Chain A
């Protein structure tokens, strides 16, 4: 339990069975979000964090799984929740987490040609990738 929510720390391989069971048996029918946490000093480096909500019991549950920096891959939840499509796209562009089985991981909020993953801790804060070349401003 953390902040009043049940937290399940699971291995990356058991994500699909656990999520499937949460949906089928425990009635967590609403997929709230998927995001990631970057721990630069830790191995494995990333937490992939899922939130589910039950509209029957009005409770939430949090799923956490850890992935390595070298291979930040988890299974997609598109087969369980259609809304996972968009959220995994965002998580992919912001943190570089790959979702095995999601065939549409194009940038969602960013643009084509953006290099890097801006919400990773090692992305330089001031780094800009403008689409329009800057003017020569005489000051």
Chain B
């Protein structure tokens, strides 16, 4: 092999060879399109959840397609439906088992505020026990509202800080 022959892949082929970006923007861009939802589905909102995640409305377009049925593999907790006081310890434990970073969607009015269940049995909103990033009201919410909510959550993730090594970076 001749030493003077140029190696093809080292040739300059385009005017732009690299881009610069901010670390948080880059990581946020990656994370917002790879949401792995954990469906904590307890009540009738499940029907709307199935509708929004299957072909007609298709949350796959937003990178939130594949439900993980273990909290350890997911980063988005979707609480879909009424949560009773008896279930509250379960929800709390599922939330604590999820690894950082994690986000929570309260899907439907029962998860948001208890809805019309203001009684001895129902938890009046899951934000009483775990922090919530996004509330989607409605009984049940329209799929369009859910998609709008997922897009809002993506905007939030894109604008967040994303520490990946320590608190400062």
Contacts and interface: CB of A to CB of B under 8 A. Distances in A.
Interface string A84-120: 0000000000000000000000000111000000100
Contacts of B85: 111, 128-131
Interface in B117-137: 118-121, 123-124, 127-131
B88 interface: yes
Size class of the contact patch on chain A: 10 to 19
A104 to B, nearest CB: 19
Interface string B78-116: 000000011011001000000000000000000000000
A135 interface: yes
B110 to A, nearest CB: 15
Contact of A128 (B92, B124, B127, B131): B124
Contacts of A126: 118
A123 interface: yes
Interface string A35-56: 0000000000000000000000
A123 B120 contact: yes
A130 B130 CA distance: 14
Given A132-B129, A135-B128, A127 B120 contact: yes
A137 interface: yes
A132 B87 CA distance: 10
Contact of A137 (B121, B123, B127): B127
